[in-house]
Structure formats: structure tokens, C-alpha cells
Amino acid sequence: MLLVGLFAPGEQCSAAAALGMLYYFILAHQPDFDVVWCRGTVGEKIFKPWVDIIEKNGCQFLTRKRVTDLLIDETSGTVNGVACGDETIPADAVVFSVGITGMQRIVSNSPSLQTREEFLNVSNLGAIDVLAVRMWLDRKVSIPKPSNACFGFDDTTGWTFFDLNSLHDEYKEEEGTVLEADFYHANQFLPLSDAQIINKVKGYLAKCIPEFEGAQVKDYVVVRFAKAVTHFSPGCYDYLMRGTTSFPNVFMSGDWIVNRHGSWSQEKAYVTGLEAANRVVEYFGEGELARIIPVEADEPHVQELRRLNSLVRDLQQQLPFHNFFL
């Protein structure tokens, strides 16, 4: 579960991050332990309609603009512009919504950010390689469950595979099987050729469901994402950024930003985005605050266990030599 949830082997994971991830996805709210999968790609079904709505409300999206620096008002200490090479875009506020690797690249090019320790400390963080494979097979293979988490094939790599005939509407009537396999901490796979990767994935699938052995691959897509997802390594907490920065009008969002909400992964990235937007509203004193739904309260039996644990800890504090015990 750590290989799939934190994208790295247990010995490479922060204990605090492991507990947070396991609690959010598994231990808390057992009746809710399920995932609702999108009926198509997230880009097409969620982000494209979302972008269309935002554009209709007056927002302009500028693509192919690589941020190289921030322009600072020396009098107020606020940011008043974003430099993209030779082009400068005026800014009243800035929200960074990028991953660790993206932030490291921006800092490496930005003299302004290099003056702030919190941004320099991002260099102490790491990211993990991900590999995504989509395959079209010449026949239907019976896959008992549409989503599957797998382990035991590689010591340092976890992976999942999905039956897209069941999950995506566009493949529902497909004659053959369409599936996707995602590999996390896929360092050793990225240098391989596409053909080598497809043979390896097909062999792994056949170990899970023998029927895959006789199927032929008609088409495939292999996408490599180098240093793409957050590595919550031991000791990383001290270098993770907060939602506010030493610049009064620069804010942060992402799954690697520290907050108190309790969510994780994509949900946390979304929540921190709302928090950043709310900070902009509060900074200018105008606009409408986004409503952030809190994580559900613990179930009664978990609350009782927490109470008992707190009681035991209080009693331990009263014992002599209590500091010698964990």
C-alpha cells in the first residue's frame, strides 16, 4: 500500500506521511473506503469543462510561458510581476500550483526566489518517477475488478492496472480489452524501450490473470513522467512549504504544501488550491471565499480509542521514569 499510496518503498517513506496516508485512505471511515472513478480521462471530463467555465468568467490561460523570475517592489516587499523570459506579466498576487520538480526549476532560474530560504529549501525535497502504459488487446479478457493494486513483482515498485472497458464510456463497446497500467517509483523502467516495457507489463498482467498470456497487443501508448510525484522521504517535513510565504502576496498550493485539513494526494492539492484562493480574497478584502468541506469526524469507535490512548498517555506521565519509555 505504501508503494501505491506514497509511491516509494517503506524504508524510503516518512513515518508521519505513511500514517497520514494510511489513515486518510484506509483507517478512517471504513464504510467510505472506495474510489469513484471518472468515466473518461480527468482532463477531458473535469479539467476541460472547468477551464471553459473559468474562461467565460473572464480568466485568461497563458500556455507555453515558462516562469523565470518574480519582480519585487522594493518599497513594499510585494511581488508586482512575473517574468517569463523577456516578457513580464503584471501581478497583484501570485499562486504557485506546481510540483516539487517544477518549483525547483523555477527557483534555479529566479534570483528573487533565491533570496528566500523557504524556496531554497525546496532543493532538499525529492520526486519520484512514474510510468503509464495504455494497451489495446485483440480480445476481451475477463478482469474481475475494474481497478487493481499490485505488489510483489519488484521490491521498489508498486503498480495498478485498470479495466478501461468498464471505467471509460468510450471503450464500453470496444471489441478487445483496453487497459491502463501505472507504475510508481518506476526508476528502473524509464530507460527501457517501449517494446521492452510492453513485454514486461504483459508478463506481469499474465501473472495476475493467466488469460492475458494468449492476448496480443494491437496498439499501445507509453508515457514516462520523470520526477513527477512527491517523495515524502524521512525528514522532509522541515522543507515542505506552507500556504503562505515571506512575500505578502505569494501563496502556495499542491499535495506537498503543509496544511491542517487532513486530506491527502489529489484531494489535498485541490483543498490547498482553495485555501490559496481564499488567502488572495482575504489579502485584498474583496471577493467571495470558497467553501472548504472539512474531513469527516472520526467514527465513534475511533474517537473512543483516541480518548483511551490519551488517558493512558496522561497516566504514563505520572509514573516515575516515564521519559525512559516510548
pLDDT one-digit tens code per residue, 186-197 = 999 999 999 999
pLDDT of 139 > 80? The answer is yes
- Which helix or strand (DSSP H or E) is residue 5 part of? helix 2-5
Give pLDDT, residue 101.
97
User: What share of the chain has pLDDT > 70, as a percent?
Assistant: 96
Give pLDDT, residue 36.
77
**Phi, then psi, of 275 in degrees rounded to 5:** -65, -40
Joined grid coordinates for residue 251: 501563496
To which residue does cell 513515518 refer? Answer: 15
Give pLDDT, residue 156.
92
Residue by residue, DSSP assigns 285-311 as T-S-PPP-PPPPPPPHHHHHHHHHHHH
Q: In the structure, what pLDDT confidence band is assigned to residue 23 with cuts at 50, 70 and 90?
A: confident
Joined grid coordinates for residue 4: 501505491
- Minimum mean pLDDT among 55-64, 211-220, 312-321: which range? 312-321
Give pLDDT, residue 31.
67
Give pLDDT, residue 35.
67
pLDDT of 244 > 80? The answer is yes
Tally of residues, the chain = 326
The mean per-residue pLDDT over the stretch 291-304 comes to 86
Give pLDDT, residue 157.
94
The mean per-residue pLDDT over the stretch 217-229 comes to 97
pLDDT of 323 > 90? The answer is no
Angle ∠(47,187,143) on CA atoms, nearest 5: 60
Average pLDDT, the chain: 93
Asked if residues 5 and 25 have their Cβ atoms less than 8 Å apart, the reply is yes
Global pTM value: 0.88
Give pLDDT, residue 199.
96
pLDDT one-digit tens code per residue, 31-65 = 666 667 889 999 999 999 999 999 999 999 999 99
Q: Tell which residue, 128, 117, 105, 98, has the closest CA to residue 8.
A: 128
Q: In the structure, what pLDDT confidence band is assigned to residue 322 with cuts at 50, 70 and 90?
A: low
pLDDT one-digit tens code per residue, 108-138 = 999 999 999 999 999 999 999 999 999 999 9
Give pLDDT, residue 92.
97
